[in-house]
């Protein structure tokens, strides 16, 4: 570029080129298109960075734990610190001057592009998931803020490792779900640590002993007795076995010290939260009270049946023996014996129909009259006896009414066409007192007391004497037979079921075993 001194046009052309170049340089500096200048200082050229070279900032960024990348407005990497290069798995040379998205996988590249496209000075963030060869997937929070480096506008992109936070959140969610499962369970669920101290207990568990057991030892808060383990297994052992890794399944236990003593089916299993390490145990307690009650009820039903069969056989044998001793002929025995057994059967039929629950006195009496009603319609009056009595009273009344009816048909009010029988309650019986009613015959032939005292009179006088409060008195009044019944108060409770109170049931059970 040596100018020709003698060629003025050439000089002018050269000066024009230099002027244009100078103007270009000035315009470039003014427009921020350059970020360094060459300055001649004492005959030596030096490079001068406009707004400094940022080296001190880079040194600072290098020691940061947060990944930091500076990109220009087109997304090309200007600089990335050590942490950012490590998480991207690249060297600075590989990514400098190239789009940041090229340093990432497809999914994250899209997110980074989206992040950088968000304009304005606000900080924008997005979560990225990056594969880590050592630690599996790691979560990063990528944030972008507008940045001005020297004359360049771009973005500062930071990558904060939030893996631990995400994992903690995931674990917390899992724990929350587990707690919800425990809380929703109908069974009592108790979680203990390795020392047997309760860490969780759902509402059903807290209801067992009506307390807040968390923080206390399981064996103190839930003292259990294991009847089938004959004292060898204690509550502490249960926890110890589970914590040592042996699951205990379905052992029957009784919460003897609970306000509401109940039977439970108890299971205990080791609790493994992470890996194989046992961090405690989970104990579940299923309420067995309903099943136990059903078992007891069934046992009592069998005992009751046994008891009744024995009683009935004894009664039949007694009827047979006494009838035999009072009848002169085989025919007479057959008739009397059959009648008495039928009377017994009539009451039994009623009892069977009602599943051996309480019977109404009116029904019992009416069933004994049934064979004679056809001939005696309108002559028998039963009044005020729609009262429930226990089975033993029903059987006794049935047998007595049979004897009275047989006698009335043979000799009394039902032996002619004009007699009638009234069976009526004497007066309203207050609760807890003996019920009295009277059998009264009228209009029949004149009555004389028979000389011979047969088995029928024994049946009448003794059948209700199973209780000191029960009785039956027969009077041979000339105008007609009168018989006064007294039903023991304990057999009158209308609401009572077949076996009466639990205590009475236990007593009955004991008696039947010994009899």
Taking the least distance from each CB to other proteins, the nearer of 38 and 106 is 38
| Shortest distance (Å) from residue 108 CB to other proteins | 21
From the list 8, 16, 46, 497, which residue makes contact with other proteins (rule: CB under 8 A)? Answer: 46
Cα–Cα dist 449/171, whole Å: 96
| Shortest distance (Å) from residue 132 CB to other proteins | 28
Taking the least distance from each CB to other proteins, the nearer of 38 and 274 is 38
Find out whether 115 and 126 touch, Cβ atoms under 8 Å.
yes
How far apart, in Å, are the Cα atoms of 361 and each of 160, 327, 383?
90, 30, 10
| Region binding other proteins by CB under 8 A among candidate stretches 25-33, 61-69, 324-332, 415-423 | 25-33
487: helix, coil or strand? strand
| Region binding other proteins by CB under 8 A among candidate stretches 66-74, 166-174, 234-242, 424-432 | 66-74
Number of residues lying near other proteins (CB under 8 A) = 35
Cα–Cα dist 11/146, whole Å: 48
Place of tokens 């009526």: 424
Residue-wise burial string across 59-70, b where 16 or more C-beta atoms lie within 10 A, e elsewhere: eebeeeeebbbb
Hey, which residues does 381 pair with through a beta bridge? 422
Using rule CB under 8 A, residue 45 touches other proteins? yes
**Residues 84-103 within binding reach of other proteins (CB under 8 A):** 96-98
**Residues 346-405 within binding reach of other proteins (CB under 8 A):** none
**Residues 115-154 within binding reach of other proteins (CB under 8 A):** 149-152, 154
From the list 5, 9, 31, 120, which residue makes contact with other proteins (rule: CB under 8 A)? Answer: 31
DSSP 8-state secondary structure symbol assigned to residue 228: G
| Shortest distance (Å) from residue 55 CB to other proteins | 9
| Shortest distance (Å) from residue 1 CB to other proteins | 7
From the list 11, 12, 15, 49, which residue makes contact with other proteins (rule: CB under 8 A)? Answer: 49
| Region binding other proteins by CB under 8 A among candidate stretches 37-45, 241-249, 341-349, 434-442 | 37-45
Using rule CB under 8 A, residue 76 touches other proteins? yes
191: helix, coil or strand? strand
How far apart, in Å, are the Cα atoms of 250 and each of 87, 253, 391, 459, 471?
53, 9, 40, 54, 53
To the nearest 10°, report the CA torsion of 105, 152, 161, 111.
-40
| Shortest distance (Å) from residue 157 CB to other proteins | 14
Neighbours of 363 (CB within 10 A): 18
Residue-wise burial string across 78-115, b where 16 or more C-beta atoms lie within 10 A, e elsewhere: bbbbebbbebbebeeeebeeebbbebbeeebeebbeeb
From the list 3, 29, 118, 296, which residue makes contact with other proteins (rule: CB under 8 A)? Answer: 29
**Contact positions vs other proteins (CB under 8 A):** 1, 17, 21, 24-25, 28-29, 31, 33-38, 44-47, 49, 53, 70, 72, 74, 76-79, 96-98, 149-152, 154
């Amino acid at each position: 570029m040596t100018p020709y001194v003698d060629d003025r046009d050439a000089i002018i052309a050269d000066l024009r080129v230099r002027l244009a170049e100078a103007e270009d340089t000035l315009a470039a500096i003014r427009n921020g298109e350059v970020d360094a200048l060459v300055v001649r200082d004492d005959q030596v050229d030096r490079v001068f960075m406009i707004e400094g070279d940022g080296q001190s900032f880079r040194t600072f960024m290098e020691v940061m734990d947060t990944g930091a990348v500076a990109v220009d407005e087109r997304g090309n990497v200007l600089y990335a610190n050590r942490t950012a290069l490590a998480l991207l798995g690249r060297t600075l040379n590989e990514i400098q001057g190239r789009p940041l998205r090229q340093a990432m996988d497809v999914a994250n590249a899209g997110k980074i592009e989206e992040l950088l496209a968000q304009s304005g000075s606000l900080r924008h963030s997005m979560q990225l998931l990056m594969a880590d060869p050592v630690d599996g997937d790691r979560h990063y929070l990528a944030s972008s803020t507008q940045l001005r480096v020297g004359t360049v506008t771009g973005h500062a992109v930071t990558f904060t490792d939030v893996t631990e936070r995400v994992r903690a959140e995931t674990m917390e969610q899992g724990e929350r779900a587990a707690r919800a499962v425990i809380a929703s369970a109908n069974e009592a669920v108790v979680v203990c640590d390795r020392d047997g101290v309760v860490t969780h207990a759902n509402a059903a568990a807290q209801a067992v002993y009506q307390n807040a057991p968390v923080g206390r030892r399981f064996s103190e808060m839930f003292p259990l007795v294991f009847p089938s383990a004959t004292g060898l297994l204690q509550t502490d052992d249960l926890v110890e076995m589970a914590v040592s890794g042996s699951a205990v399944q379905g052992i029957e236990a009784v919460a003897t010290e609970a306000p509401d003593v109940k039977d439970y089916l108890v299971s205990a299993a080791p609790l493994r939260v992470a890996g194989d390490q046992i961090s405690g145990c989970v104990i579940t307690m299923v309420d067995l009270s309903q099943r136990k009650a059903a078992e007891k009820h069934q046992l009592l039903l069998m005992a009751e049946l046994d008891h009744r069969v024995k009683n009935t056989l004894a009664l039949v044998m007694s009827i047979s023996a006494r009838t035999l001793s009072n009848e002169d002929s085989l025919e007479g025995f057959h008739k009397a014996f059959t009648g008495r057994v039928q009377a017994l059967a009539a009451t039994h039929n009623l009892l069977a129909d009602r599943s051996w629950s309480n019977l109404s006195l009116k029904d019992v009496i009416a069933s004994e009259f049934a064979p004679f009603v056809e001939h005696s319609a309108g002559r028998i009056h039963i009044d005020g006896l729609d009262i429930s009595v226990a089975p033993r009273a029903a059987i006794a009344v049935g047998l007595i009414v049979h004897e009275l009816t047989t006698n009335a048909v043979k000799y009394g009010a039902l032996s002619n066409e004009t007699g009638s029988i009234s069976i009526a309650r004497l007066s309203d019986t207050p609760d807890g007192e003996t019920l009295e009613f009277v059998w009264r015959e009228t209009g029949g032939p004149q009555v004389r007391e028979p000389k011979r005292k047969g088995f029928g009179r024994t049946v009448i006088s003794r059948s209700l004497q199973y209780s000191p409060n029960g009785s039956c008195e027969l009077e041979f009044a000339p105008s007609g037979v009168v018989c006064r019944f007294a039903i023991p108060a304990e057999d009158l409770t209308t609401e009572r079921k077949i076996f009466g109170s639990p205590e009475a049931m236990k007593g009955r059970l004991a008696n039947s075993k010994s009899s």
